[in-house]
Chains A and B, each alone.
Chain A
Amino acid sequence: AQSVTQLGSHVSVSEGALVLLRCNYSSSVPPYLFWYVQYPNQGLQLLLKYTTGATLVKGINGFEAEFKKSETSFHLTKPSAHMSDAAEYFCAVSDGAEYGNKLVFGAGTILRVKS
């Protein structure tokens, strides 16, 4: 079975500061890993994903994440926070070994950006 743990249900940063949202996963097979963002009253939007290949993946809005197999982590970072980054972020894992397998989500982290 797969699982995702997001450390910190709320993270608060100042505008311009580094954003770091933590995600650890558990998977018995090589995982596919995802970060989604959800703005109020909107659907989840894919930020970035790791399937195979380069372990540092870049996504939209300046976000990136690094897959570290030895640490079973997939932390999300952004060098400089913007007010528009305030939202809820979800890390998710999928079993890449099976075509079209389902997503298992973490509990989410609400990012607050202070001016």
Chain B
Amino acid sequence: GAVVSQHPSRVICKSGTSVKIECRSLDFQATTMFWYRQFPKKSLMLMATSNEGSKATYEQGVEKDKFLINHASLTLSTLTVTSAHPEDSSFYICSAREGLAGPDTQYFGPGTRLTVL
């Protein structure tokens, strides 16, 4: 099946620094990628939807200047957490959708655990 990778799997950074997380579709072209945040014992919350070559659409309450999303190619999307603070510590998961398929064809990455000290 389709595979989505994320890098890094874990990252620890100091408060005030920026962290970039990569999401790649390994064997298909992803016209749309989604970024989720998962808090302990809570749901995955959609942060933003990114379409290749256009600006990301952010969910209500998500700071777009804080969480920069770039989807420059059909196989790569990046999430940059700028000026990270301890409250940004979380598990970030991306998913990718192939072509013009419907909502049931999202393929998920394994997630990135971010810890901000």
Contacts and interface: CB of A to CB of B under 8 A. Distances in A.
Nearest to B9: A41
Interface residues of B, number: 25
A53 interface: no
A33 to B, nearest CB: 10
B110 A101 contact: no
B12 interface: no
Classify the interface of chain B: helix, strand, loop or mixed: strand
Contacts of A49: 104
B41 A100 contact: no
Contacts of B46: 102-104
A108 B34 contact: no
Contacts of B104: 32, 34, 46, 49, 51, 94
Interface of B: 4, 9, 32, 34, 36, 41-46, 49, 93, 95, 97, 100, 102-104, 106-111
